[in-house]
């Protein structure tokens, strides 16, 4: 379900596709020598150093590589993903006394009380989700009032590596510019700070490859997600 009020003019979206992150992990390692993109790893490493002793949610954790980076110094780490294959791999590789994994679809969460977290991390996930507003509502339901911060990233479609009129990645439903991403987030959170992957603050005209946003104080979680 797309929010037509922020549909990008003359931009062609992709249909949502399931992605086998386990297969993608092995392919990336064989061809590039890494298991997750270097930009994602950089974000996870920097955030981990800021979250010592916290209770953290990694939303859209994939195979759990980033989750275990965050979990090194966390008090408790919970990784969730909609793909059971991803979660099974993550459990086999990284589950521990303080790192847990479960299947959970952000656009169709179970109807129960939510746990609350000091920090929520959602790295390069939102561009894969058709109903991103429902996903954001679900993320907001995990907030502790006045405490929780959401760190959410996505590729910047105005970067030279990407295409401005359609997602370059076939598994991305859509890609946004920095200002377009900000417009979505400011409808959901009172305070937004934008960064590049080195955690330098950026403005709305930035051409950084990945834009990372820190979101604080959520606005109006929808009634369906509150339940």
Q: Comparing 211 with 11, which gets the higher pLDDT?
A: 211
Residue whose C-alpha is closest to residue 222's, from 144, 126, 107 = 107
Q: Name the domain count of the chain.
A: 1
Distance in angstroms (rounded) separating the CA atoms of residues 225 and 40: 28
Distance in angstroms (rounded) separating the CA atoms of residues 120 and 101: 14
pLDDT at 157 (0 to 100) = 93
pLDDT at 20 (0 to 100) = 72
In angstroms, what CA-CA distances link 159 with 42, 206, 217, 225?
Answer: 18, 9, 29, 34
Instruction: Locate 184 and state its tokens.
Output: 């979505």
φ and ψ of 88, to 5 deg: -60, -40
Distance in angstroms (rounded) separating the CA atoms of residues 22 and 209: 24
pTM of the complete model: 0.89
The answer to whether position 56 is within a domain reads yes
The answer to whether position 188 is within a domain reads yes
The answer to whether position 24 is within a domain reads no
Distance in angstroms (rounded) separating the CA atoms of residues 204 and 78: 32
- Judged against a pLDDT cut of 80, whether residue 205 lies above it is answered with yes
Domain span at 149: 37-226
The answer to whether position 16 is within a domain reads no
Distance in angstroms (rounded) separating the CA atoms of residues 113 and 130: 25
Q: Residue 61 half-sphere exposure, CB side, CA atoms within 13 Å?
A: 35
User: Is-contact 120 57, C-beta < 8 A?
Assistant: yes
In angstroms, what CA-CA distances link 135 with 28, 35, 51, 128?
Answer: 27, 26, 23, 11
DSSP conformational letter for 126: G
pLDDT at 221 (0 to 100) = 61
The answer to whether position 14 is within a domain reads no
pLDDT at 227 (0 to 100) = 46
- Judged against a pLDDT cut of 50, whether residue 199 lies above it is answered with yes
- Judged against a pLDDT cut of 60, whether residue 183 lies above it is answered with yes
Q: What is the mean pLDDT of residues 181-191?
A: 97
Query: Mind giving me the DSSP string for 128-142?
Result: G-SSHHHHHHHHHTT
Q: Mind listing the pLDDT tens digit for each residue in 9-32?
A: 788 999 998 877 777 776 676 777
Q: How many C-beta atoms surround the C-beta of residue 193 within 10 A?
A: 14
Q: Are strands 55-59 and 119-123 parallel, antiparallel or unpaired?
A: parallel
CATH number of the CATH domain containing 72: 3.40.50.150
pLDDT at 146 (0 to 100) = 95
The answer to whether position 77 is within a domain reads yes
Q: Mind listing the pLDDT tens digit for each residue in 91-150?
A: 999 999 999 999 999 999 998 878 999 999 999 999 999 999 999 999 999 999 999 999
The answer to whether position 65 is within a domain reads yes
Instruction: Locate 11 and state its tokens.
Output: 């931009």
The answer to whether position 181 is within a domain reads yes
Distance in angstroms (rounded) separating the CA atoms of residues 37 and 26: 12
Q: Mind listing the pLDDT tens digit for each residue in 36-76?
A: 788 999 999 999 999 999 999 999 999 999 999 999 999 99
């Amino acid at each position: 379900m797309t929010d037509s009020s922020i549909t990008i003019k003359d931009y062609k979206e992709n249909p949502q596709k399931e992605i086998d992150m386990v297969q993608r992990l092995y392919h990336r390692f064989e061809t590039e020598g890494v298991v997750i993109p270097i930009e994602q790893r950089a974000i996870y490493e920097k955030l981990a150093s800021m979250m010592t002793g916290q209770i953290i949610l990694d939303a859209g954790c994939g195979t759990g590589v980033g989750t275990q980076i965050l979990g090194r110094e966390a008090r408790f780490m919970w990784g969730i993903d909609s793909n059971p294959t991803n979660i099974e791999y993550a459990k086999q590789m990284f589950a521990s006394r303080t790192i847990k994994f479960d299947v959970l679809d952000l656009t169709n969460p179970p109807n129960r009380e939510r746990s609350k977290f000091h920090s929520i991390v959602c790295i390069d996930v939102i561009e894969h989700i058709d109903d991103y507003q429902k996903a954001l509502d679900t993320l907001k339901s995990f907030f502790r009032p006045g405490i929780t911060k959401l760190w959410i990233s996505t590729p910047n479609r105005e970067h030279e590596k990407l295409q401005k009129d359609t997602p370059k990645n076939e598994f991305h439903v859509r890609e946004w510019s920095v200002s377009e991403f900000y417009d979505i987030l400011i409808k959901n959170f009172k305070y937004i700070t934008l960064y590049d992957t080195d955690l330098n603050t950026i403005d709305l005209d930035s051409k950084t490859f990945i834009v990372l946003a820190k979101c604080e104080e959520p606005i109006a979680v929808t009634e369906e997600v509150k339940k």
